[in-house]
Amino acid sequence: MERKIVEVLGELYGKYKQRSQLEEEEIKWLKEKGIDVEKSAIHDAAGINDDWPMGRGVFINEQKEFVILVNFEDHL
């Protein structure tokens, strides 16, 4: 799923990073925008974080106008 989404997003002129490769500066910027990419105890209880952080990532377009979360609660 992640691979296919990255193929499509590549046409949107931005950057995709796996969750494990996000830098602190990027995580801080996402939090400021109200986007949480941290591991959640609620998700642990629901079984969503079984393979944390594998297969999860964030696409941010070059102008920082939109963000797409991949494989967090929903696939996209």
Give the pLDDT confidence of 33-51 residue by residue, as tens digits.
999 898 888 888 888 777 8
**Region 52-70 average pLDDT:** 88
Pull the structure tokens for residue 71: 């494989």
| H-state helical runs in 1-76 | 2-9, 24-32, 41-46
DSSP bridge partners of 61: 14
Give the percent of the chain with pLDDT over 70: 96
